Chain A
Amino acid sequence: MSDLVRLEKVTVRYGREPVLINVDLVVDEGDFTGVVGPSGSGKTTLLKAIAGTVRPIAGHVLRDRDAAVGYVPQVETVNWYFPITVREAVLMARIGGRVVPWPSRDDVRDAEAVLERLGLGGLAGRHIRELSGGQQQRVFIARALLRRPKLLLLDEPTSGVDVRTRHDVMHLIHELHHDGLAILLTTHDLNGIAAHLPNLICLNREVIATGRPNDVVTPSVLERTYGAPLEVLQHGGMPVVVDRIPGLEPAGAEVIPLREGHHEHPA
């Protein structure tokens, strides 16, 4: 295994506000890592720093120059009214190496193959807005895959989709990992996504903890990451985070202290 990306003491600022502070991170070939943290904790900025679109004010981002990076943005950032078909969106990835506007036969063949593999065969001529949430997400994964990346960065790949679509998208990402891609994704979903990943980074501008879900999804790490007390149960060998708002339990519910040192708000 060799490093695809190595971040050393990376600090990023937007204006005066530091967004990432002293972040150390290594992504190896075959890694599968989730980044969790509250809104504004620097998750997307971390992906952008790895992708090279955000420059740190301190520290270094070292990338394997031979390893292409595929980036899948949050679907919320996509302009769904842009006039673009699935085929046009996916073929965008084939940038450079060809001066004429139309794609080569190889480009078209590769795009068709990727679309077929991701279950989008037959939808190439559709406008991207005509697809379901899961299909839309897969279009942008297909575009990233057409770059033949070794590392796939996914920003909130399951935000705003229903449970079944989330399962489909996560199965697809797991398959891509099995095929040898290194995966780094951000998520807000601790139970539905993060707990199922081999490795997690808890981020709140700085790295709070890294490790397997069972090691880092703990009340103390989560409180340092999210700034709010969270309860963690075990279910089927996986941590389950209980997001209970003290003082707002339903009438008649048994009030259990979150953990030692934290007192319930009087009901």
Chain B
Amino acid sequence: MSTLLDPFGYDFFVNALLVATLAGALCGLIGVYVVLRGMSYIGHGLSHAIFGGAVAAYALDVSYYLGAGVWGLVSALLVQQVARRRTIGADAAIGVVTSSSFAVGIVIISVIGTFTQNLEAALFGDVLGVTVPDVVAVGAVTLFAAGVVFFRYRELLFATFDPEVAEVSGVNLAATDTLLALTLSALITVSMNVLGVTLIAAMLVIPAVIGRLLTDSFSRMLAISVGVGTVSGATGVYLSYHLDWPSGPSVVLTAALIFAVAYVFSAARRRAIPEAALDAHAG
């Protein structure tokens, strides 16, 4: 028993657990909108773009959160802008904008010659290095995101499901999209230390997809996704301590395991209730 509770005696572990749990919940919350807007790739792209911002912030000797955050927001807005031109799809827009941004980061590293931050930690996440300000940053963004979803629930839902009619009904699409882009770039900026550049996308997508597998209701999908993100964050970090795995992969693998269980459960349920039965009900 004492072995199980051992890690809680260390401040770094408690910080890590807090930050991963919050980051998991945050990714679960915003991931629902990302997945339902068909922009699953944006998490992957933006985290690479923000990596460029982090390097630029280091080179210019400005705060990581400021540099990476502003860089991420500008990238997200550029993606939106490019994607609105009908000739270029959102996936291609993400590819162009975020890869270019990532390339800028790599060029800066090669020009300044050093990047003393741990590159591996940036790529795969390392919660051992999490400080109290990091916990506060993730907490603040989680609160902000929860506020955005709570107070803008209807607008976000309508704009995600049916943007055209939402606009007719008085939803300001540009404002809603910008608010989501702002929240997403803030999320990635503060989650990068925990999950790593390469794994944030997985945590944005997997909990949301599990939610979609298990329910046909939007509000329930949101709740399930947040729950799965929270549990994956906490369990993943706890396992990473005992198994001596990097935190990011540990969190993502926990979520992937839950996905596998949910997938099997959902497939079994569908076999139990064949489509024909649903059609017969629909009449």
Show the binding face of A for B, using Cβ within 8 Å: 14, 48, 51-53, 69, 71, 73, 77-79, 82-85, 88-89, 92-96, 98-101, 126-127, 129-132, 135, 143, 147
Contact = CB atoms under 8 A, between A and B. Distances in A.
Interface string B151-166: 1011101101110111
Given A78-B162, A83-B221, A88-B217, A100 B150 contact: yes
6 contacts: A82-B161, A83-B212, A85-B217, A95-B155, A95-B169, A126-B282
B170 A130 contact: no
B167 interface: yes
A92 B154 contact: yes
Given A85-B216, A88-B219, A126-B282, 9 more contacts: A14-B86, A88-B157, A88-B217, A89-B161, A95-B171, A101-B219, A127-B217, A130-B278, A131-B282
A147 B218 CA distance: 21
A93 B212 CA distance: 23
Question: Which 3 A-B pairs rank lowest in CB-CB distance, beginning with the nearest?
Answer: A101-B153, A127-B216, A51-B168
Contacts of A48: 164
B283 interface: yes
A63 B129 CA distance: 59
B165 A83 contact: no
Given A88-B217, A88-B219, A71 B150 contact: no
A92 B217 contact: no
B170 A95 contact: yes
Contacts, number: 87
Nearest to A89: B161
Interface residues of B, number: 35
B282 A132 contact: yes
A52 B168 CA distance: 7
A98 B218 CA distance: 19
A105 B182 CA distance: 33
B270 interface: no
A71 B168 contact: yes
Contacts of A82: 36, 160-161, 218
Contacts of A51: 168
Contact of A73 (B164, B212, B215, B218): B164
A96 B176 CA distance: 13
A99 B283 CA distance: 37
B271 interface: no
Given A83-B212, A130-B281, A96 B170 contact: yes
B163 to A, nearest CB: 9
B150 A84 contact: no
Nearest to B171: A95
A53 B150 contact: no
Nearest to B278: A130
A135 B283 CA distance: 9
Contacts of A78: 162
Nearest to A153: B168
B157 A92 contact: yes
Nearest to A98: B154
B164 A147 contact: no
A30 to B, nearest CB: 21
